[in-house]
């Protein structure tokens, strides 16, 4: 069995400003890589000729990943009454698209559970925020008005989950550069009354959404996903066809921050776009979404506590 | 209620908070209510965004309680409640829920010392509107307290930052940590409540 390739993120010392996309990517000596198995599963699920047994077989080649996927599949969140013992069984019970999201979440866990010191996020804080956003985005994709979404580009619950999971990955790369300049960025945001993201761009030359999109492209993830990450604070600025996905990500991020899940030193200095809520046909229904999402979170505690058992 | 962000330097009193290890931190999760008579307990609401930690203490009865309020009111859905029932998920239900729990432990509502912490706001959106949960939470909590004839003794509300709030059952001290910044003592909910924070 091949061991999981733990995503690594080795970043050099803070670069001189302004940062650029190219210099940032160069500064990351070893880019965090999605394990090959996760990428393979992502591709196979989109191939209509591939069956459940093949997906299960591919995941099973990675022992650590298999254990994590099974742990997620058996969490209360998925509500399976009996114990799932094998990945093949998980694929059959939960479906290939759910297994794809579980595989990606399990693969990203080693990266996202780390402390992100530049943003004052402790160990597991970014993981909690990311997995909560993923679940919230999934809820939003299911609740969005189909007519509204059809004009913005299709948003499937599993796409929304992945975008929610990865939307803040750029914070991992930007953290070391932000750290020593954090006060400068925060004061700029407070003084000029601008979102933290804009202050990042003004001071550092690059914001965490741009950094995240660059990483997604480096991982060869779909362009729609990279665009949703790039525009998760400005969803209507996404390319035509990706607006729906960017909107679900923006609202999920805003709701999770508002509920205090994974709030870092940048606090709530980010915006939830009214236009995004309207675009998904959810005006006046956000309290209802928040209520349902909170109920789902009760079942998701085992996902948050992933590290204890993984 | 926009507030100036606290300074990065911890206050002298907060910095010397002693002997934490000898005490037991009791996490009050989203929507939960905790009431205690044990002097060694510290009730803690972690990562408050727009949520409110409603901290109450009856110094005479030596009972302390905290409600971690999430949303202002139950949404009008017309259907059944989704998910497990949490006493303080909604402000209008959480305030009486906490009061009744305190009374069951021997507290008297008219003796209660009260502090509110949290209710941060997301930054205003481009369109000018905002997800206004924090402000709406404040209004509903204050109204519910007013209906019971009680006011608040200290508060640290609003702003655009996350907070963690502690209520020490032993002496009623309220310690607020602003995420990414400082930890400071906001008030002491004692016989004569003292507000030590600059927000009071």
Tens of each residue's pLDDT in chain A, 310 residues: 444 444 555 555 777 778 887 777 776 655 556 778 888 888 888 888 888 888 989 998 888 888 888 888 887 778 888 889 998 899 888 888 889 888 988 888 888 988 999 999 999 999 999 999 998 998 899 888 877 777 777 788 888 999 999 999 999 889 988 888 999 999 999 899 899 999 999 999 999 999 999 988 887 788 999 999 999 999 999 998 899 999 999 999 999 999 899 899 999 888 788 888 888 888 888 888 888 888 777 777 666 665 554 3
> Which residues 6+ apart lie within 8 Å of A135 measured at CB?
A77, A161, A164, A293, A296, A297, A300, A303
Distance CA A27, CA B64 (A): 51
Cα angle A248-B53-B85, degrees, rounded to a multiple of 5: 65
Among candidate residues B104, B160, B105, the one with its CA nearest the CA of residue B131: B160
Q: Name B90's bridge partners.
A: B71
- Helix (H), strand (E) at residue A11: strand A10-11
CA distance B128 to chain A (A): 8
Instruction: Determine, for residues A291 and B74 on separate chains, whether the beta-carbon distance falls below 8 Å.
Output: yes
Instruction: Determine, for residues A286 and B89 on separate chains, whether the beta-carbon distance falls below 8 Å.
Output: no
Structure tokens at A256: 């999770």
pLDDT of residue B3: 57
Q: In chain A, what residues touch B135 (CB-CB under 8 Å)?
A: none
Task: Name the DSSP class of A235.
Answer: G
Q: In chain B, what residues touch A292 (CB-CB under 8 Å)?
A: 82-83
Task: Name the DSSP class of B63.
Answer: E
pLDDT per position as a tens digit, A269-286: 887 888 888 888 888 888
pLDDT of residue A219: 79
Q: In chain A, what residues touch B122 (CB-CB under 8 Å)?
A: 254, 257-258, 268, 270-272
For B161-190, the three-class secondary structure string (H helix, E strand, C coil) is CCEEEEEECCCCEEEEEECCCCEEEEEECC
| Maximal CA-CA distance, chain B | 51
Query: How many residues make up chain A in this entry?
Result: 310
Residues of B with CB under 8 A from a CB of A: 5, 8, 30-31, 46-51, 70-75, 77, 82-84, 89, 118, 120-131, 133-134, 159-162, 179-181
Phi-psi map region of A186: left, alpha, beta (phi>0 left; psi -120 to 50 alpha): alpha
User: Which among A186, A263, A272 has the least Cβ separation from residue B162?
Assistant: A263
pLDDT of residue A304: 66
Query: How many residues make up chain B in this entry?
Result: 200
Instruction: Determine, for residues B51 and A294 on separate chains, whether the beta-carbon distance falls below 8 Å.
Output: no
Among candidate residues B137, B130, B159, the one with its CA nearest the CA of residue B70: B137
Distance CA B139, CA B146 (A): 10
Residues of A with CB under 8 A from a CB of B: 119-120, 182-183, 186, 190, 195-196, 254-255, 257-275, 286-288, 290-292, 294-299
Among candidate residues B124, B57, B50, the one with its CA nearest the CA of residue B91: B50
pLDDT of residue B109: 95
pLDDT of residue A71: 85
Interface test with chain B among A142, A291, A296, by most B beta carbons within 10 Å = A291
Distance CA B31, CA B46 (A): 12
Among candidate residues B144, B158, B142, B140, the one with its CA nearest the CA of residue B199: B158
- Helix (H), strand (E) at residue A30: strand A28-30
Beta strands in chain B (DSSP E): 24-27, 33-36, 41-48, 52-58, 63-69, 113-118, 154-157, 163-168, 173-178, 183-188, 194-195
Instruction: Determine, for residues A259 and B70 on separate chains, whether the beta-carbon distance falls below 8 Å.
Output: yes
3 state DSSP class of A242: coil
CA distance A293 to chain B (A): 9
Instruction: Determine, for residues B75 and A255 on separate chains, whether the beta-carbon distance falls below 8 Å.
Output: no
Please report the ipTM that was assigned to this predicted complex.
Answer: 0.81
3 state DSSP class of A292: helix
Q: Do the beta carbons of residue B165 and residue B175 sit within 8 Å?
A: yes
Distances (CA, A) of B126 to A30, A76, A234, A270, B122: 37, 38, 9, 11, 12
> Which residues 6+ apart lie within 8 Å of A217 measured at CB?
A223, A226
Residue positions of B annotated with a catalytic role:
51
Phi, psi (rounded to 5 degrees) for B42: -125, 115
> Which residues 6+ apart lie within 8 Å of A196 measured at CB?
A185, A186, A189, A266, A267, A269, A270, B123
pLDDT of residue B99: 96
Low-confidence ranges of chain B (pLDDT < 50): 1-2, 7-19, 78-84, 126-130, 198-200
Distances (CA, A) of A232 to A111, A209, B104: 20, 7, 47
pLDDT of residue B123: 77
Distance CA B49, CA A267 (A): 8
Instruction: Determine, for residues B131 and A255 on separate chains, whether the beta-carbon distance falls below 8 Å.
Output: yes
């Amino acid at each position: 069995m091949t061991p999981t390739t733990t995503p690594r993120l080795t970043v050099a010392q803070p670069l001189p400003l302004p940062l650029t996309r190219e210099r940032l990517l160069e500064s990351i000596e070893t880019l965090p890589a999605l394990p090959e198995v996760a990428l393979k599963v992502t591709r196979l699920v989109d191939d209509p000729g591939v069956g459940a047994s093949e997906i299960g077989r591919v995941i099973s080649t990675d022992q650590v990943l298999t254990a994590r996927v099974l742990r997620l599949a058996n969490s209360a969140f998925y509500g399976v009454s009996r114990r799932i013992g094998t990945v093949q069984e998980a694929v059959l019970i939960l479906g290939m698209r759910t297994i794809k999201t579980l595989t990606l979440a399990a693969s990203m866990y080693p990266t996202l559970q780390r402390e992100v010191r530049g943003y004052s996020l402790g160990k597991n804080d970014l993981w909690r925020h990311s997995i909560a956003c993923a679940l919230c985005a999934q809820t939003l994709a299911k609740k969005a008005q189909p007519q509204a979404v059809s004009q913005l580009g299709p948003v499937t619950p599993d796409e929304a989950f992945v975008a929610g999971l990865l939307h803040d990955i750029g914070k991992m790369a930007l953290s070391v550069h932000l750290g020593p300049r954090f006060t400068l960025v925060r004061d700029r945001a407070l003084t000029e009354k601008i979102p933290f993201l804009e202050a990042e761009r003004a001071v550092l030359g690059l914001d965490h959404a741009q950094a995240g999109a660059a990483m997604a492209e480096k991982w060869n993830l779909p362009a729609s996903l990279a665009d949703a990450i790039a525009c998760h604070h400005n969803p209507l600025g996404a390319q035509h066809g990706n607006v729906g996905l960017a909107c679900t990500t923006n609202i999920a991020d805003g709701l999770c921050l508002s509920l205090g899940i994974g709030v870092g030193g940048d606090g709530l200095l980010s915006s939830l776009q009214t236009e995004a809520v309207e675009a998904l046909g959810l005006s006046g229904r956000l309290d209802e979404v928040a209520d349902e999402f909170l109920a789902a979170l009760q079942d998701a505690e085992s996902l948050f506590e992933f590290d204890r058992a993984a | 209620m926009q507030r100036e962000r606290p300074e990065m330097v911890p206050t002298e009193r907060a910095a010397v908070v002693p002997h934490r290890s000898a005490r037991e931190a009791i996490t009050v999760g989203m929507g939960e209510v905790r009431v205690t008579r044990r002097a060694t307990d510290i009730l803690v609401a972690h990562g408050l965004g727009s949520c409110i930690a409603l901290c109450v203490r009856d110094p005479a009865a030596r009972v302390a309680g905290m409600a971690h309020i999430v949303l202002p009111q139950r949404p009008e859905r017309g259907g059944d409640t989704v998910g497990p029932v949490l006493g303080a998920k909604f402000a209008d239900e959480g305030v009486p829920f906490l009061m009744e729990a305190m009374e069951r432990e021997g507290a008297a509502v008219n003796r209660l010392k009260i502090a509110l912490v949290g209710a941060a706001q997301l930054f205003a959106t481009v369109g000018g509107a905002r997800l206004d949960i924090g402000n709406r939470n404040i209004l509903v909590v204050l109204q519910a307290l007013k209906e019971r004839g009680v006011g608040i003794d200290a508060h640290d509300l609003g702003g655009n930052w996350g907070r963690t709030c502690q209520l020490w059952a032993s002496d009623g001290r309220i310690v607020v940590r602003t995420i990414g910044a400082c930890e400071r003592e906001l008030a002491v909910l004692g016989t004569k409540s003292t507000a030590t924070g600059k927000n009071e």
